[in-house]
């Protein structure tokens, strides 16, 4: 059994080692091979991060988008093209898996097609600070429609046959929504494991969290996605999800303006609890 983990890398030399170490430290059943594919999107060579210790635990491959700042979708597509795994997952270069993630999620992905765990939110470089857990629906098996209610990013492990599509390279924000939804539809749903087995690490310079520009980018992306829907699709669960996300994004922008520094995940938690 082979798991391919694809890591887009853009100006990531300072922290990608943590991501690679977290994959090398995975507890794995007999016969599991973890293939890591680092895709350079900044014109630099990331192969130097494949130390002997990491190579001993992982099958390591470094490739490139062939461009500079082509974007994470282009990098993930380049990684998909090279991936040889029975299972596929994606990992941002600044995030880390906890040691039991692969062993826990792979059997669930084998059965259900798509499996994910909750995540602990941690500021990069300050792991000792309090952690937040993003809001996910009740654990267990979700329908594709129920999975659209997840607010915030999520990073499943997919059985390879559930990925029949590529990442949309025309979107520069929320591109994971469309990719994940298509894969979850192919899987017939998403299994959610209740424990946080991954650290989603927030970088101060991350475009995803650089407010208020991030909110404006999100609005443009949602409008762009809605504009692509056919007339028959405009009442679909995806269309309803996109309109709901627009409202949530507008509310978050207003809350952030009143409390600069408020993270989206914290806002979602507060909104669900109120």
The reported pLDDT for the residue numbered 274 is: 66
User: SS3 for 36?
Assistant: strand
Q: What is the CATH number of domain 2-205?
A: 3.90.550.10
Residues contacting 158, CB < 8 A, separation 6+: 87, 88, 89, 109, 113, 114, 183, 187
The reported pLDDT for the residue numbered 16 is: 97
CA dist 238 and 220 (Å) reads: 16
Q: Nearest Cα to 105, choosing from 32, 156, 179, 163?
A: 156
Domain boundaries, the chain: 2-205, 208-273
Residues contacting 227, CB < 8 A, separation 6+: none
CA dist 145 and 159 (Å) reads: 19
pLDDT in tens, 168-190: 999 988 999 999 999 999 999 99
Q: Nearest Cα to 155, choosing from 188, 187, 199, 122?
A: 199
The reported pLDDT for the residue numbered 231 is: 86
CB count within 10 Å of CB 274 equals 5
pTM of the model: 0.92
Q: Identify each DSSP E strand in the chain by its residue range.
A: 2-9, 33-40, 59-64, 87-90, 96-97, 114-123, 140-142, 157-159, 190-202
pLDDT in tens, 187-244: 999 999 998 899 888 776 665 668 899 899 999 999 999 999 988 888 899 999 999 9
Angle of CA points 140, 143, 147, to nearest 5°: 80
């Amino acid at each position: 059994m082979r798991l391919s983990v694809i890591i887009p890398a853009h100006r990531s030399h300072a922290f990608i080692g943590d991501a690679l170490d977290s994959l090398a430290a995975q507890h794995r059943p007999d016969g599991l091979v973890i293939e890591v594919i680092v895709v350079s999107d900044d014109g630099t060579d990331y192969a130097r991060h494949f130390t002997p210790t990491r190579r001993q635990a992982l099958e390591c491959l470094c490739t490139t988008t062939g461009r500079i700042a082509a974007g994470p979708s282009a990098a993930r597509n380049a990684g998909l093209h090279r991936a040889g795994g029975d299972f596929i997952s994606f990992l941002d270069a600044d995030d880390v898996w906890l040691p039991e993630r692969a062993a826990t999620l792979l059997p669930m992905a084998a059965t259900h097609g798509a499996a994910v765990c909750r995540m602990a939110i941690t500021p990069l470089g300050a792991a000792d600070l309090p952690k937040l857990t993003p809001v996910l629906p009740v654990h267990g098996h979700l329908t594709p429609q129920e999975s659209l209610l997840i607010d915030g990013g999520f990073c499943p492990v997919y059985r390879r046959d559930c990925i029949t599509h590529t990442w949309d390279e025309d979107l520069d924000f929320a591109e994971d929504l469309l990719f994940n939804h298509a894969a979850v539809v192919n899987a017939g749903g998403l299994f959610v494991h209740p424990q946080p087995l991954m650290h989603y690490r927030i970088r101060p310079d991350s475009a995803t969290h650089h407010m208020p520009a991030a909110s404006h980018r999100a609005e443009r992306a949602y409008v762009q996605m809605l504009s692509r829907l056919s007339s028959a699709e405009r009442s679909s669960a995806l269309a309803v999800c996109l309109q709901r996300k627009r409202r949530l994004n507008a509310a978050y922008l207003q809350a952030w303006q009143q409390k600069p520094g408020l993270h989206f995940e914290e806002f979602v938690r507060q909104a669900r609890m109120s």
